Structure 1
Amino acid sequence: MPEAPFSVPRNNSGPLFADTGLKLGLFGINVTSAGGVTAFPDRHEIGWEQNLRLVRLAEDAGFEAVIPYSRWRGFEGRTNPWGSSFEPYTWAAALAARTSRITVFTTSHCLTVPPVMAAKQIATIDAVSQGRVGLNVVAGWFEKELRMFGVETLDHDARYGYSEEWLDIVLRLWGEPEDFDYHGRWLTMNGGYSSPKPVQAPHPPLMNAAFSPRGHQLAARYADIAFVATTDLTATGKKVRQIQELAAGHGRELSVWVTGSVVCADTDGEARRLAERYATVDADEDAVRNALDWTMGGAHLAPDQRAELKRSVAATMGGYPLIGSSSTIAAQLADLAAAGVDGVALTWMNYETGLPRFIAEVLPALELAGVRRPLGPSLATA
């Protein structure tokens, strides 16, 4: 397998890769019920002005990134969680024009967006944002969605092979000044060309959710930031080391993030009871089953694994559980940083109440402990 083109050091001039400690991202605000597949009455609903307000709040607080989901239909059931969503490219472009510092990611299923279109759209958003866009690449799953696009259904490993070819093309469109041809197993391009090039050099940061060994391989070759899925601190440190070692084998470095779901209350016991309510009393059972089977291979899991994941999906959408009082959550984030995690993409059941509390109570504790350090003036405006 050839090395990925343009595997050169990333642009470290902005806040996303600055030496300021644990990075924070606002995750999934563009879809309903992003924090969990539950019928909890206070679950997240979306609106454009609300999304803009939340992103600006996160930006003012020093968050480094905002990252959308890419969803085209929901998980049905009683409440159809994730059933209403903002399309991530146009969403990112609009946010780019209304913010000044935060990195605005878009999320792209490779099977649903042609690489020529993706390269041009990202370069355009990079111009709008003056060099603040990032691309979260998803190898694609959820067959019911893919059928809407009339694209071929590929098995797990084939999707990653397709995505590698997709990324090869996008990176060459961003980096090569002349026309080029590309002939892969899945993708063919004749006379490929795109201008203008992105503002960021060598290219906008690439993010990938590396949730499987095959996903780890793609992230190690291409990504600047890799998500890993974990709910256990010991396993987290092991996964971070594994994927960084894979990247080093390709002569590359990458940041490793986890997704984290915040359930905060005045006491640890109250927070645990709230998470338990999400997972039991208010769980949308049909939607949880669909989420497991359609996107996580739930039908192939052992019964005990399925039961554990079912509770996690309902309460925290499978993210690392940050459950407790503000001080407990700050300590949990400090533990993740000590395990080698570079950043956490955060969800809440209700962002409009959860994010302000996090900013007011958890962020100061992280800064006091040295887990996060304030940006200097030059980095804040880079």
Structure 2
Amino acid sequence: MDLRIFTEPQQGATYDTLLTVAKATEDLGFDAFFRSDHYLRMGSVDGLPGPTDAWITLAGLARETRRIRLGTLMTAGTFRLPGVLAIQVAQVDQMSGGRVELGLGAGWFEEEHKAYGIPFPKEKFARLEEQLEIVTGLWATETGKTFDFHGRFYDLTESPALPKPAQAKVPVLIGGHGATRTPRLAARYADEFNIPFASIEDTERQFGRVRAAAQEAGRPADALTYSNALIACVGKDDAEVARRAAVIGREVDELKANGLAGSPAEVVDKIGRYAAVGAQRIYLQILDLDDLDHLELISSQVQSQLT
């Protein structure tokens, strides 16, 4: 079971904070550092000092880390034109020596679009499908040849399809709870399918849909990696769990029901139950980015039992 660290910087984090967490992620043996792609805080937190851009952040981290994978859960398709996004991701992949992964979603948080003057189109899913075809098509175009795409929302003519990523294939992540269109899209474009904040039962159901869609599309179901994103709140005892829950404004019982919370033994047991329904990787949502002891505990007492 791979464990990856997943952050939500729109809730309040500077680049320096993210760099500190990314370096801890690397030093403590986690597989990857991922971040959300949002420009507005959610809930009652003040969000200070304000948002950081996902791909600018990852570009910086690409030069200041050595081993860990770097990516987004999920880049909002509404924020960037697909041709521009292909250039950005390819460049960051080069800067990292081939360690980048692209999670791409339709975008959903209307308030952040209003706050920063970003168009919020109605037909986001149809746009996402074209975006995936364009981004992957640009990267796959042979050097020296051009790429054309004439769709409903985007039109590319004689694109040189440059630059190329360092990796022969940048892993593409698609995720969500949708019962029909999401599995179909994952089956066509994804290297990894991720379901965020889902119960074990819902996870098993959605993984089954994606596996079936892959087979219908002529791909082996096992060609995809299957993953979860779950909030983490681990403590060496009940008091430490309660303290960490209070810091992020959550209740222990709710965290245990909906995430990975409790003692290391409790968390290892629950991860095992996700693994039993097909999860191969878990993104641990870490909301208190100043609590590096939390990461150390997960590394030494949870991750060590999963290898």
TM-score (norm 1): 0.70
Q: Is the aligned partner of 1:164 residue 2:129? A: yes
State the shift of 1:341 in Å. Answer: 0.1
Task: Choose from 87, 105, 115 the match for 1:120.
Answer: 87
How far apart are the structure 1 equivalents of 2:111 and 2:296? 36
Contact 1:259–1:319, Cα closer than 8 Å, also in 2: no
Which residue matches 1:211? 177
SS in structure 2 at match of 1:141 = coil
Pairwise mapping of residues 1-382 of structure 1 onto structure 2 (< 5 A)? Answer: 22-32=1-11, 45-75=12-42, 77=44, 79-81=45-47, 84-106=50-72, 107-147=74-114, 148-154=116-122, 158-177=123-142, 178-201=145-168, 203-213=169-179, 214-252=181-219, 253-267=223-237, 271=241, 275=245, 282=249, 320-351=258-289, 352=291, 353-366=293-306, 372=307
Alpha carbons 1:278, 1:315 under 8 Å: kept:
no
Can you list the C-alpha shifts for 1:264-314, whole angstroms capped at 9, x where unaligned? 223458737964x579xx46xxxxxxxxxxxxxxxxxxxxxxxxxxx89x9
**2:148, 2:156 within 8 Å by CA — same for their partners in 1?**
yes
Query: How far apart are 1:238 and its partner, in Å?
Result: 2.5
Q: Which stretch of structure 1 is more off in the superposition, 247-256 or 340-349?
A: 247-256
Q: C-alpha displacement at 1:83, in angstroms?
A: 7.8
Contact kept, 8 Å, 2:175 with 2:195, in 1: the verdict is yes
Instruction: Write the letter of the residue equivalent to 1:233.
Output: I
Q: Secondary structure at the match of 1:122?
A: helix
Q: In terms of mean alpha carbon deviation, does 114-123 or 348-357 score higher?
A: 348-357
Aligned counterpart, 1:13? none
**1:319 offset after TM fit, Å?**
9.7
* 1:149–1:219 distance in 2 versus 1, CA, 3 Å: farther
Cα deviation code 1:45-73 (max 9, x no counterpart)? 42323322221222233322211111111
Q: For residues 77-117 of structure 1, what are the alpha-carbon distances to aligned partners after superposition, in whole Å with 9 as ceiling and x for unaligned?
A: 4x235883321111111111111111111442112201111
Letter of the 2:295 partner, please give it. L
The 3-state SS of whatever aligns with 1:80 is coil
Residues 73, 83 of structure 1: 8 Å contact kept: no
Amino acid at match of 1:61: L
* Residues 221, 82 of structure 1: alpha-carbon distance in 2 compared, 3 angstrom cutoff: farther
Query: What do you get for the CA RMSD once the two structures are aligned?
Result: 2.8
| Runs (5+) with no aligned partner, structure 1 | 1-21, 33-44, 284-310, 367-371, 373-382
How far did residue 29 of structure 1 move?
A: 4.7
Q: How far apart are the structure 2 equivalents of 1:354 and 1:134? A: 25
| TM-score, normalisation: structure 2 | 0.86
Distance of 1:208 and 1:84 partners within structure 2 = 27
Higher RCO, Cα 8 Å, sep 6+ = 1
Inter-partner Cα distance in structure 2 for 1:151 and 1:138: 15
Structure 2, unpaired ranges of 5+: none
Change (3 A) 1:176 1:150: same
Runs (4+) off by over 6 Å: none
User: Could you tell me how far apart the structure 2 residues matched to 1:269 and 1:335 are?
Assistant: 25
Map Cα deviations across residues 151-173 of structure 1 (whole Å, 9 max, x no partner): 2421xxx3111111011111121
Aligned residues: 297
Rate the CA distance shift 1:54–1:130 in 2: closer, same or farther, 3 A. Answer: same
